């Protein structure tokens, strides 16, 4: 049996502010140093849209600098609390199964329900590449009796590939970027230990922790409409947010085209950055592991007859590519 504090080296309360008359919602984020700022933007969006809740954030930080952790203190509000769980060097995941640029930090969500069960029977896990754009009331009022979690089905293309791979009925493979978890049922069925055993078994899971969670929780999840986890793939210019319905609760920016890169910055994400403590942080042009995005932007500018700008971005692409080869 895994101990509840396994892989956690230090627990620190950054601040705690509770309004006694308000309901408390526990929310967990897991991230490494590269995702600290996006985690902060996501948290800020939750705070802005849920002023009538006590928001208790649990941050599972894997090798995040002290300076970046300190920045979260700027999110202090009269109804917010933040606890930071520093991940120890003992935390490791079988590297053979971390394909598709999946970070080991994403597997930290295996720890969340077991560790937080003492303080909450329900915990909302969120990926860092999300925005909360509406109140969370309807989500957190879902009945999870005899269910591990409330989830949203993944897109058809993923269903077609992963349902056979995971031996799951078509349509029942969920995206793990938003999971509203019944921690009591999770702990009672020892899912943390089972999940780590699977991920480190030597078998390669294409979507790593997401595949493992789908297999373990099969038949015991409550499926919700897609507006609770609206999967959005951004293209250069970031106009996809304009296509979303007004009832969207959580936007989840899947693929490597993230809205905190200049090439994919959406007007909506930009507004949330501007209202956050990270408003003055300089944004990278694009993912450093994908210089081809800069080249695609140059081609787009050529099609718009913006030749000078296209030339500038093509030079950036060449510089980016050359730097990556070093």
pLDDT tens, per residue, the chain with 326 residues = 455 566 788 999 999 999 999 999 999 999 999 999 999 999 999 999 999 999 999 999 988 999 999 999 999 999 999 999 998 776 665 555 544 444 445 568 888 999 999 999 999 999 999 999 999 999 999 999 999 999 999 999 999 999 999 999 999 999 999 999 999 999 999 998 898 888 877 788 888 889 999 999 999 999 999 999 999 999 887 889 999 999 999 999 998 889 999 889 999 999 999 999 999 999 987 776 666 777 777 777 788 888 887 887 788 778 767 665 55
Tokens 């991920």 label which residue? 199
SS3 60: strand
Task: Evaluate if pTM is beyond 0.95.
Answer: no
What secondary structure letter does DSSP report for 108?
Answer: G
Contact 261, 273 (CB under 8 A): no
Classify 4-274 by CATH class. Answer: alpha beta
Q: Is 77 exposed, middle or buried (0-12, 13-18, 19+ CB in 10 A)?
A: middle
24 and 105 Cβ atoms separated by less than 8 Å: no
Residue listed under structure tokens 């080991």 = 104
Cα–chain center distance at 121:
21
What is the domain partition of the chain in residue ranges? 4-274, 291-323
Q: 123 to each of 27, 55, 132, 155, 223, how far by Cα in Å? A: 6, 11, 16, 24, 16
What is the full DSSP assignment across 247-289?
T--EEEEESS--TTSGGG--HHHHHHHHTSTTTTPPPPSS-TT
């Amino acid at each position: 049996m895994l101990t509840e504090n396994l892989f956690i080296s230090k627990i620190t309360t950054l601040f705690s502010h509770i309004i006694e008359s308000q309901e408390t919602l526990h929310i967990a984020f897991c991230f490494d140093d590269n995702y600290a700022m996006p985690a902060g933007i996501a948290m800020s969006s939750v705070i802005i849209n849920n002023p009538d809740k006590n928001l208790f954030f649990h941050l599972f930080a894997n090798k995040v600098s002290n300076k970046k952790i300190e920045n979260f203190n700027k999110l202090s509000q009269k109804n917010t609390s933040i606890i930071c769980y520093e991940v120890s060097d003992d935390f490791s995941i079988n590297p053979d199964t971390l394909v598709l640029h999946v970070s080991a930090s994403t597997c930290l969500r295996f720890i969340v329900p077991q560790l937080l069960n003492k303080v909450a029977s329900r915990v909302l896990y969120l990926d860092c590449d999300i925005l909360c754009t509406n109140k969370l009331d309807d989500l957190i009022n879902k009945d999870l009796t005899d269910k591990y979690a409330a989830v949203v089905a993944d897109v058809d293309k993923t269903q077609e590939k992963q349902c056979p791979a995971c031996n799951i009925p078509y349509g029942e493979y969920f995206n793990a970027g938003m999971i509203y978890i019944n921690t009591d049922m999770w702990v009672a069925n020892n899912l943390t230990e089972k999940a780590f055993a699977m991920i480190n078994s030597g078998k390669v899971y294409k979507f790593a922790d997401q595949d493992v969670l789908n297999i373990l929780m099969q038949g015991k999840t409550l499926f919700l409409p897609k507006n609770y986890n609206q999967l959005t793939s951004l293209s250069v210019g970031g106009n996809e947010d304009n296509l979303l319905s007004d009832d969207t609760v959580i936007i989840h920016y899947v693929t490597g085209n993230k809205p905190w890169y200049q090439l994919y910055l959406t007007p909506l994400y930009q507004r949330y950055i501007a209202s956050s403590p990270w408003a003055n942080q300089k944004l990278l042009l694009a993912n450093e592991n994908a210089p081809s995005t800069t080249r695609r932007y140059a081609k787009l500018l050529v099609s718009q007859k913006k030749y000078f700008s296209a030339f500038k971005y093509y030079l950036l692409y060449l510089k980016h590519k050359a730097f990556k080869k070093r």
